[in-house]
């Protein structure tokens, strides 16, 4: 089978798996002529016994971050598996205030198997720390694609399509209070748009699975729904290349801090105690 054939077969299998786990796909604006999946997939936990009884189907096994990580580790869903050293599922706390989403692993992350550990990652950590956030305490950090694109190129639309099912499951499992997108690719992928980062940043958008928000319908149809505030800013790598972007990025961080203070009294108390 040709490389293109393998990719197409893999995407078909991914679509089928998403369908079977209750996900759905929506039109994507990044140039791929298919759809990208970023829905709230059903799990045993999400769907619950009531949903399974109503659907007259066997109870599904509960999803977990560990399962996502295991699947990412052995995934050959797109061509990025061919040159990776290690896949990078993500890391952080289980019930994060903030899910930080980047583009994909770079060389340092590929070697370490951890997200955002190179120079850009160190800057990201400092940015988060400036508003009382960290991956050790109250954040989870993941990427749109879990394997390194060669030569640090942008992930291709078909690679994003193949990999997005992992991010959607992570969002459903983590249920962060806010999604913070580091850079254009993450924001465009999650928001299903081709709008540039200059226009996407500076205000809150909303991540929505498009599922039903009525609890009775949710149990009947089994489609879980999430609405999560989403803020995008420039990727830390862009800030390292262009000092002029640091001021608007700081404005974005202040916006994030304000929203978290509104949403979470614990966060407000912790950050108020900072020097
Ligand atoms: S980038 Fe994602 S879809 Fe592609 S091989 Fe890695 S884990 Fe699988």
Residue 85 maps to which CATH number? 3.40.470.10
Q: Do residues 20 and 13 make contact, with C-beta atoms less than 8 angstroms apart?
A: no
Task: Indicate the SS3 state at residue 232.
Answer: strand
185 lines ligand 1 (CB under 6 A): no
Distance 160 CA to ligand 1 centre (A): 8
159 lines ligand 1 (CB under 6 A): yes
Distance 159 CA to ligand 1 centre (A): 7
> What integer is the mean pLDDT of 8-30?
42
pLDDT in tens, 226-246: 789 999 999 999 999 999 999
Q: Whose CA is nearest to atom 4 of ligand 1?
A: 78
Model pLDDT, residue 32: 38
Distance 261 CA to ligand 1 centre (A): 35
Model pLDDT, residue 209: 72
Q: Which of the two residues, 180 and 37, has the higher pLDDT score?
A: 180
Tokens of residue 8, six digits: 């197409």
263 lines ligand 1 (CB under 6 A): no
Does the pLDDT value for residue 27 go beyond 50?
Answer: no
Buried b (16+ CB within 10 A) or exposed e, 224-251: bbbebbbbbbbbbbbbeeeeebeeebee
| DSSP per position, 139-203 | EEEEESSSSPPGGGPPPPHHHHHHHHHHHHHHHHHH--SEEEEESHHHHHHHHT----HHHHTTS
**Confidence band, pLDDT 50/70/90 cuts, at residue 118:** very high
Domain that holds residue 104: 3-272
78 lines ligand 1 (CB under 6 A): yes
Q: Do residues 144 and 155 make contact, with C-beta atoms less than 8 angstroms apart?
A: yes
163 lines ligand 1 (CB under 6 A): yes
Task: Kindly give the number of the ligand 1 atom that is closest to the alpha carbon of 159.
Answer: 4
Report pTM. 0.77
Model pLDDT, residue 25: 35
Pairwise CA distance, residues 81 & 100, whole Å: 23
Task: Kindly give the number of the ligand 1 atom that is closest to the alpha carbon of 10.
Answer: 3
How large a percentage of the chain has pLDDT more than 70?
68
Please measure the distance between the N-terminal and C-terminal CA atoms of the chain and give it in whole angstroms.
60
Q: Do residues 242 and 249 make contact, with C-beta atoms less than 8 angstroms apart?
A: no
Q: Exposed (0-12), middle (13-18) or buried (19+): which is 143, by Cβ within 10 Å?
A: buried
Distance 51 CA to ligand 1 centre (A): 31
Distance 155 CA to ligand 1 centre (A): 10
Beta bridge partners of 178: 98
147 lines ligand 1 (CB under 6 A): yes
Model pLDDT, residue 33: 38
Residue from 162, 165, 166, 168 to probe ligand 1 pocket by mutation (most atoms less than 8 Å from CB):
162
Distance 82 CA to ligand 1 centre (A): 10
Total count of domains within the chain: 1
pLDDT in tens, 91-109: 999 999 999 999 999 999 9
Residue from 18, 32, 74, 80 to probe ligand 1 pocket by mutation (most atoms less than 8 Å from CB):
80
Q: Where are the beta strands (DSSP E) in 215-261?
A: 227-233
Does the pLDDT value for residue 61 go beyond 80?
Answer: no
Tokens of residue 92, six digits: 């952080």
Q: Do residues 187 and 181 make contact, with C-beta atoms less than 8 angstroms apart?
A: yes
Tokens of residue 261, six digits: 């203070």
Q: Whose CA is nearest to atom 2 of ligand 1?
A: 163
């Amino acid at each position: 089978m040709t490389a293109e054939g393998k990719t197409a077969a893999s995407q078909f299998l991914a679509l089928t798996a998403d369908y079977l786990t209750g996900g759905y796909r929506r039109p994507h604006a990044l140039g791929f002529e298919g759809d990208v999946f970023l829905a709230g997939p059903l799990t045993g936990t999400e769907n619950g016994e009531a949903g399974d009884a109503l659907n007259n189907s066997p109870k599904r096994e509960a999803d977990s971050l560990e399962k996502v990580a295991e699947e990412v580790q052995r995934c050959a869903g797109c061509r990025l598996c061919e040159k990776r050293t290690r896949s990078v599922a993500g890391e952080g706390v289980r019930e994060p205030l903030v899910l930080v989403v980047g583009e994909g692993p770079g060389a340092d992350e590929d070697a370490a198997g951890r997200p955002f550990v190179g120079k850009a990652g160190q800057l990201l950590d400092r940015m988060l720390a400036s508003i009382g956030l960290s991956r050790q305490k109250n954040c989870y950090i993941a990427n749109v694609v879990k394997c390194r694109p060669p030569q640090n190129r942008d992930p291709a639309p078909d690679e994003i399509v193949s990999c997005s099912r992992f991010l959607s499951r992570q969002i459903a499992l983590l249920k962060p209070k806010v999604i913070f997108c580091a850079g254009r690719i993450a924001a465009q992928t999650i928001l299903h748009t081709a709008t540039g980062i200059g226009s996407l940043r500076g205000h809150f958008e909303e991540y929505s699975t498009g599922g039903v928000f009525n609890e009775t319908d949710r149990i009947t149809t089994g489609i879980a729904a999430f609405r999560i505030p989403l803020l995008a800013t420039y990727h830390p790598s862009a800030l390292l290349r262009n000092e002029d972007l640091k001021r608007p990025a700081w404005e974005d961080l202040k916006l994030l801090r304000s929203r978290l203070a509104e949403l979470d009294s614990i966060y407000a108390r912790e950050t108020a105690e900072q020097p």
